[in-house]
């Protein structure tokens, strides 16, 4: 395996704006081609871990709107964007699975192993933003806080769901369709003594009955978001949905929601959270069903 050579200083003050765009496109191209060749995308492959770390760093840097448009409209990026996202999603899943199993094998049964994770601070900041915004819309709409919160696509390490419970003191149901993630998350929740507060249900979010619930989260790695949202709108009339998306250059890493499609589907955007530079990469849209007059 050749040494990883992609520079981690693509975005520099001294580079011209045109050169910045060209460098970033070259960077993404090299990262994608390297990831496509790798068979092992787990954290055990330090080469892959380094590639993704450098890519994440570059996508957290600030770019001008015209620079973002130039990158996203580049022919190579348009053709290969989805394939790159698939590899990044697989790597993130495997990293969470690795952390989940490590916690289960730990001698500790408290939250300390979770808090020591490099992702803890990121997810805590994201969930804190989301809860602050969600509470505003729950109050404004006069909606009852019907427990629990539903989190669609919680993964093998339901970190967001655990933090949601921790910060809100509400029960959370994790809806997970992947059997490996389902088994891993159940084991880790039992290990942490949270199984009675954060529970896991095996199922597809596009087939679940959301009618008893008023607060629903949809994870960024859920690939069938529009189908999930269609099911939510068909089975509940008074819910606030927090769906994670990506804005700007961060769309390279995570799938962005088509906001025009949301309008056609019957959703109204109540508000959104914005990513925090050098920390949170996702944005979150808050939706409610359009009321018929």
Farthest-apart Cα atoms in the chain, separation:
63
pLDDT, residue 34, reads: 96
Better-scored residue on pLDDT, 109 or 84 = 84
Decide: pTM greater than 0.85. yes
CA angle 258, 33, 220 (to 5 degrees): 30
Q: Lowest mean pLDDT: which of 84-93, 134-143, 189-198, 260-269?
A: 134-143
The DSSP line for 7-63 is: -S--S-SSS-HHHHHHHHHHHHHHHHHHHHH-S--STT-HHHHHHHHHHHHHHTS--
Q: Which CATH class is domain 113-289?
A: alpha beta
Each residue's pLDDT tens digit, 123-182: 999 999 999 999 888 866 556 565 789 999 999 999 999 999 999 999 999 999 999 999
65 preceded by cis ω (within 30°)?
Answer: no
pLDDT, residue 146, reads: 59
Give the pLDDT band of residue 17 (cuts 50, 70, 90). confident
Q: Which two tokens stand for residue 155?
A: 């993964």
Percent share of the chain, pLDDT over 70: 90
Contact 83, 32 (CB under 8 A): yes
Contact 24, 71 (CB under 8 A): yes
The continuous run of DSSP H or E covering 290 comes out as: none
The continuous run of DSSP H or E covering 168 comes out as: helix 159-168
pLDDT, residue 6, reads: 46
Q: Lowest mean pLDDT: which of 10-19, 140-149, 268-277, 282-291?
A: 10-19
Domain boundaries, the chain: 17-104, 113-289
Residue 99 has pLDDT above 60, yes or no: yes
The strand pair at 283-289 and 240-245 is best described as antiparallel
Q: CA–CA separation, 204 vs 192, rounded Å?
A: 25
pLDDT, residue 138, reads: 80
Q: CA–CA separation, 77 vs 251, rounded Å?
A: 11
CA 245 distance to own-chain centroid: 7
Q: Which two tokens stand for residue 211?
A: 């009618």
Residue 205 DSSP code: T
Each residue's pLDDT tens digit, 169-223: 999 999 999 999 999 999 999 999 999 999 999 999 999 999 989 899 999 999 9
Give the pLDDT band of residue 3 (cuts 50, 70, 90). very low
Q: CA–CA separation, 56 vs 260, rounded Å?
A: 27
């Amino acid at each position: 395996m050749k040494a990883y050579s992609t520079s981690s200083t693509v975005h520099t003050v001294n580079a011209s704006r045109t050169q910045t765009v060209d460098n970033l496109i070259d960077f993404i191209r090299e990262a994608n081609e390297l990831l496509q060749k790798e068979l092992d995308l787990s954290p055990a492959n330090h080469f892959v871990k380094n590639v993704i770390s450098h890519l994440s760093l570059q996508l957290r840097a600030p770019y001008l709107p015209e620079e973002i448009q130039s990158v996203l409209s580049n022919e190579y990026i348009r053709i290969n964007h989805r394939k790159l996202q698939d590899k990044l999603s697989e790597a993130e899943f495997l990293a969470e699975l690795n952390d989940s199993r490590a916690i289960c094998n730990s001698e500790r049964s408290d939250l300390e192993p979770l808090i020591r994770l490099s992702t803890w601070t990121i997810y805590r900041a994201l969930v804190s933003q989301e809860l602050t915004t969600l509470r505003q819309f729950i109050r404004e709409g006069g909606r009852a806080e019907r427990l629990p919160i539903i989190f669609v696509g919680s993964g093998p390490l339901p970190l967001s769901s655990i933090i949601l419970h921790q910060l809100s003191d509400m029960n959370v149901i994790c809806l997970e369709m992947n059997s490996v993630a389902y088994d891993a998350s159940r084991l880790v929740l039992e290990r942490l003594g949270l199984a009675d507060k954060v529970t896991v249900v095996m199922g597809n979010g596009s087939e679940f009955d959301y009618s008893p619930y008023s607060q629903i989260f949809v994870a960024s790695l859920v690939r069938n978001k529009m189908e999930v949202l269609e099911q939510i709108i068909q089975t509940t009339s008074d819910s606030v949905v927090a769906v994670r998306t990506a804005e700007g250059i961060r769309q390279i890493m995570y799938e962005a929601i088509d906001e025009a499609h949301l309008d056609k589907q019957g959703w109204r955007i109540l508000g959104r959270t914005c990513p925090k530079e050098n920390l949170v990469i996702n944005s979150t849209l808050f939706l409610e069903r359009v009321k018929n007059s």
